[in-house]
Structure 1
Amino acid sequence: MTQQRILILGAGELGMSVLRNLARRAGSSALSISVLLRPSTIQSIDAFKQREIDELRALGIEPIPGDLAADSVDTLAALFKRFDTVVSCTGFVGGKGVQLKIARAALNAGVPRFFPWQFGVDYDVIGRGSAQDLFDEQLDVRDLLRAQSRTDWVIVSTGMFTSFLFEPSFGVVEFESGIVRALGGWDNAVTVTTAEDIGALTAEILLAEPCISRRVVHVAGETIGYGQLADKLDAFTGRTFERVEWTVPQLKRELALDPDNGLKKYRVVFAEGKGVAWDEKQTFNAQRGIAVENVGQWMRRSLSVSETTLAG
């Protein structure tokens, strides 16, 4: 069996999940797994980072030094060249232009297969000119990949990370305060998937037979309406959450007053409700019968109902 050489870009929440799931399959699937990390991360004396590096090495994963933001396209292409598959798990932290740089490096290297960082909403449906300007670059990446035939590619659309739906700064759920807000209306829906499930499903998609090629693959932990979310919160805590609707015009006004605020950009996109939710029955995990964690299960695993919470 020919060994497949896989390079994961980044070891954040999603990157680590993909790495762990691939490592579990390495023996039976003849995989050689590496991860691209900043040299400063590999050499760090920080205890947390060292534990992470130790875990990677214990899993048989080789850390490769590289800097996606600072290195040139040619430098990255030289790094990518010896791999069969490159999977970008970097997120938007590198800033504008980095996703396009990574895609160009993968194509210039002649990487046989590339998974770009597109783990989120359906950018094709949202289209250009949305409130979140970073999304236009995601469409530039798709155009670049679709315009060539040398490198195979797969895009995994996951919806929002489940944990982000409950992130206090995002504003949808203020758990301790007992407030839930609907972006655009109570019938609006959002698809969410946990980072753990995205990692497991990405590994399944990468190794699937017959090979998945040149397409967008949708996955979902759950597609949930904001009204359903409020009902679940009520049932989970045994109290009635205050329900507040944030309309699209209201959110657009708030963004106009603070145009560089990334969270306010996201709120407008999700409130408009286009390309942010899809039918669970049509997803890769549903069609393959792969169990995933829904919102209720995530709440039971991740949220603590304290006496203070119940007191409201």
Structure 2
Amino acid sequence: MSDSRIDASGVLVLGAGQLGMAVLRALAPRLQAAQSTATVLIAPNVLDAPSEDDAANLAELRGLGVEMVRGDLVSDERTLTRLFRDFRTVVNCTGFVGGPGTQLHISRAVLAAGVKRYFPWQFGVDYDVVGRGSGQPVFDEQYEVRKLLRGQSGTEWVIVSTGMFTSFLFEPAFDVVNLEKQTIHGLGSWETKVTVTTPEDVGKLTTEILLAEPRIIDEVVYVAGDTISYGDLAKVVERVTGRTFEKAEWSLHKLRSDLAAAPDDVMARYRAAFGLGDGMWWDKSKTYNARRGLRTVDVEEYLRARLQ
């Protein structure tokens, strides 16, 4: 039996939201083929009183043969530690919905449980480059999670750096591309770059990385659907839509001034952070998927599909 087969046994995915479902759609069939099973942690309220979307997800998970375990990630650390002890591998797909401190809380419980391998919620930017003080408090916490993991040797860890989700570029509240208002804003400058990946590609690539042989250990693995400047993004949007958009460059000075005027505005924090450039992008040609010839969806393909 290969190392990856052994490591695949006892995989717990935390969360069945957009990313958790994408991971499970890719991972569960692969584990079944290896005579193993994926398990997902589901919040009690989702199991007891599911919304229409929740019910659809739960039905899909049952169809995939995914086992479900009830648990609340805001439980005390000892409760989480007892829950995690039953699993060799934990893949954290919870996002930031749990509030400040949640990712450190989960990570400490994973380490205390003696989990053999951990994929933390680091599906985002390069927090080593960003460091502390980017203007986005959750980025500071992600940096602290990395310090925590590197300060121990009992649990192997793998960080999958994906950039932002591609769809976020087109989120009206983020206000980079607003398709309805036909506006495009370049954060920092038109030359500033950003790396983006769709959740579906993150799910597929995370599965490939988890099952890779030889096993990937204590490493930051970079993936990308696309790395694009805001100027090139504007060209793609206008080419695909066939429309002319109103364009404005938002300088770092403006972004920081906006944040100072509204320090609790989450989107102002994100715009100020992504306007920095450094740590928000990496060369797609050097990513895990590019080196292995694994196809991903770029911004143009994503937008064409969205507009169909």
What pairs up with 1:155-166 in 2 under 5 angstroms?
155-166=159-170
Report how far residue 48 of structure 1 moved: 2.6
1:84 paired to 2:88: yes
Unaligned runs of 5+ in 2: none
1:25 to 2:30 alignment: yes
Amino acid paired to 2:148: L
Please report how far the alpha carbon of residue 186 of structure 1 lies from its aligned counterpart in structure 2 after TM superposition.
0.6
The Cα of 1:52 is off from its aligned counterpart by 1.4
Residue 245 in 1 paired to residue 230 in 2? no
Q: State the match for 1:290 in structure 2.
A: 294
The TM-score normalised by the length of structure 2 is 0.96
- Residues 1:38 and 2:38 aligned together: no
Q: Hey, what's the Cα distance between the residues in 2 that align with 1:37 and 1:27?
A: 20
Per-residue CA distance 1:106-159 (angstroms, 9 max, x = gap) = 000000000000000000000111110111111111111101111000000000
Q: Name the CA shift for 1:45/1:268 in 2 (closer, same or farther; >3 Å).
A: closer
The answer to whether structure 1 residue 175 and structure 2 residue 179 are counterparts is yes
Deviations, residues 32-72 of structure 1 (Å, cap 9, x unaligned): 21100111111225333222111111111111111112x01
Match of 2:102 in 1: 98
Which amino acid is 1:103 matched to?
S
Q: Which residue identity lines up with residue 219 of structure 1 in the other structure?
A: V
In the comparison of the two structures, how many residue pairs are matched?
303
Q: 1:5 aligns with which of 2, 7, 10?
A: 10
Match for residue 70 of structure 2?
65
Higher mean alpha-carbon deviation, 55-64 vs 10-19, is at 55-64
Distance in 1, matches of 2:296 and 2:36, equals 24
Residue in structure 2 matching 1:53, options 58, 65, 68: 58
1:213-245 Cα shifts (integer Å, max 9, x gaps): 101000000000111111111111112211111
Q: Matched residues in 2 for 1:166 and 1:239: separation?
A: 16
Contact 1:184 1:246 (8 Å CA) reproduced: yes
Q: Please say which of residues 52-61 and 41-50 is displaced more in the overlay.
A: 41-50
Q: What is the distance in 1 between the residues matched to 2:53 and 2:122?
A: 27
Residue 46 of structure 2 aligns to which amino acid in structure 1?
Answer: T
Work out whether residues 190 and 270 of structure 1, in 8 Å CA contact, stay in contact via their aligned partners in 2: yes
Q: Name the CA distance, whole Å, in 1 between partners of 2:50 and 2:270.
A: 36
1:232 aligns with 2:212: no
Gaps of 5+ in 1: 305-312
**Does 130-139 or 212-221 show the bigger shift?**
130-139
Identity of aligned residues (%): 53
Alignment-derived partner of residue 212 in structure 2: 208
Q: Residues 150 and 45 from structure 1, CA distance in 2 versus in 1: closer, same or farther, beyond 3 angstroms? A: closer
Check if 1:134 corresponds to 2:113.
Answer: no
Aligned residue identity for 1:35: V
Q: What residue in structure 1 maps to residue 278 of structure 2?
A: 274
- The whole-number CA distance in structure 1 between the counterparts of 2:130 and 2:233 is 23
CA contact (8 A) 1:42 1:63 kept: no
RMSD: 1.1
Residue 309 of structure 1 corresponds to which residue in structure 2? none
Code of the residue aligned with 2:282 in structure 1: it is W
SS class of match (2:206):
helix
1:250-291 deviations in Å (ceiling 9; x for gaps): 111111111011110110111111100100011000011100
Contact 1:172–1:180 (Cα < 8 Å) also in 2: yes
